[in-house]
Amino acid sequence: MIDTHAHWRPAELADALRARTKEPRIARDSGGAEVLKSRMGDQPLAEAFDDVDFHLGRMDRQGVDTSVLSLLGSFCWVEAQPAEVSGPLCRRVNDRFSAICQAHPGRFAAFAALPLTDMPAAAAEFERALGLPGMIGAQVPGNAFLTRDDAEAMRPLLEIANRRRAVLFIHHGPRPGDVFPKVAGKTDNARRRNGTLDMQASLSSVMVTLCLTDYLAPYPDASIMVHNLGGNIPYEVERMDHRCLLDTPDEELPSSRFRKAKVYVDCNSFGPRAIEAAVSLYGAERIMCGTDGTAFGCDWTRKALAEARISEEAREKILHRNAAAMLARVASTARRDRAA
């Protein structure tokens, strides 16, 4: 099993969190103990960051051969800071990710964090990070791809990913300056509205940008991955086809265009029926395993894949083969670039 969606909370950011005056930040509670304060509440520092040995133990218990690490969303604030702040922080994160990969060959790969307030700086760090052992691409925010016009700003990163045959992991999240989350915490069912309704709708918009426009045409050698089955597309595509036949009958059906597009999705968070719908739409060769990097997520995904009414070959592609091919492609290009 290769987990392509395994978030990480790096302790290397602790000092930067101590210097912050707004959440997320490290402060002292009423008893004088340091805690990580975030929108999820207060957390003791002993539980606030990830530990390599603990993570490896969990991987071994759950049969995960390789985890592809990426910053947890609540730590992606580093990417939205001014370039003079975010640049050093992103380098620290990426150097640590690479060190983990080097210390445990074959067990980890990683997506880089980028200083997104300055695109030339982000491109430079992406190039640098791809020269580090274990780095296979970068994680970028979904809001940057909600429309084709939005996505124009990300072309420098696509050009690098294409040239280096690297991966862009598009994860739901804000661009620097975006209001986020969209639903205020005092709203009823705020977590359901933000964590499911808005997230999935936003990912659907990302997929429409990537698959129903020609935006990706100049980048045939870049690998693009969107999480959570690419939003609600597997359910909504029949409605899209229906509207297409009514409104633009001479246009190729959206279902056909989604099937042809070279965009991967992961199956994080979804159950067997959703996975079946995604296999029917995208094809099993376009779906990869993802768990969010948690024990609960791993158990949930394994159960969902075991119960899904798909072929054993499809299951094996999702659990291992698709991601193994992607990792091998990036590694082969990295060896070529080092030789050059």
Q: Are 207 and 170 in contact, with CB atoms under 8 Å apart? A: no
| Sheet bearing 25-28, strands edge to edge | 25-28, 34-38, 41-44
Q: What is the pLDDT of residue 318?
A: 98
Q: Where are the alpha helices (DSSP H) in the chain?
A: 14-18, 45-48, 52-62, 83-103, 119-130, 148-151, 155-164, 190-192, 199-211, 233-247, 254-260, 272-282, 295-307, 312-316, 322-339
Pick the more confident residue, 187 or 30. Answer: 187
Q: Are 129 and 92 in contact, with CB atoms under 8 Å apart? A: no
Residues 240-265: tens digit of each pLDDT: 999 999 999 999 999 999 999 999 99
Mean pLDDT, range 268-287, rounded to an integer: 98
Q: Are 277 and 309 in contact, with CB atoms under 8 Å apart? A: no
Has residue 275 got a pLDDT over 90? yes
Q: What is the pLDDT of residue 315?
A: 98
Mean pLDDT, range 287-298, rounded to an integer: 96
Q: What is the pLDDT of residue 213?
A: 98
Whole-number mean pLDDT of the chain? 96
Q: What is the pLDDT of residue 158?
A: 98
Has residue 32 got a pLDDT over 90? no
Q: What is the pLDDT of residue 308?
A: 98
Q: What is the pLDDT of residue 40?
A: 76
Residues 95-112: tens digit of each pLDDT: 999 999 999 999 999 999
Residues 177-216: tens digit of each pLDDT: 999 999 988 999 999 999 999 999 999 999 999 999 999 9
Q: What is the pLDDT of residue 41?
A: 83
Mean pLDDT, range 308-316, rounded to an integer: 98
Q: What is the pLDDT of residue 335?
A: 81
Q: Under 8 Å CB-to-CB from 275, ≥6 apart: which residues? A: 229, 267, 287, 304, 305, 308, 310, 318
Residues 161-181: tens digit of each pLDDT: 999 999 999 999 999 999 999
Q: Are 170 and 206 in contact, with CB atoms under 8 Å apart? A: yes
Residues 139-156: tens digit of each pLDDT: 999 999 999 999 999 999
Has residue 227 got a pLDDT over 90? yes
pLDDT confidence band for 339 (50 / 70 / 90): confident
Buried b (16+ CB within 10 A) or exposed e, 175-192: bbeeebbbbeeeeeeeee
Q: What is the pLDDT of residue 302?
A: 96
Domains of the chain: 2-8+50-339 (3.20.20.140)
pLDDT confidence band for 22 (50 / 70 / 90): confident
pLDDT confidence band for 231 (50 / 70 / 90): very high
Q: What percent of the chain has pLDDT over 70?
A: 100
Q: What is the pLDDT of residue 82?
A: 95
Q: What is the pLDDT of residue 39?
A: 79
Has residue 340 got a pLDDT over 80? no
Q: Which two structure tokens, joined as six digits, stand for 211?
A: 């698959």
pLDDT confidence band for 337 (50 / 70 / 90): confident
Has residue 338 got a pLDDT over 80? no
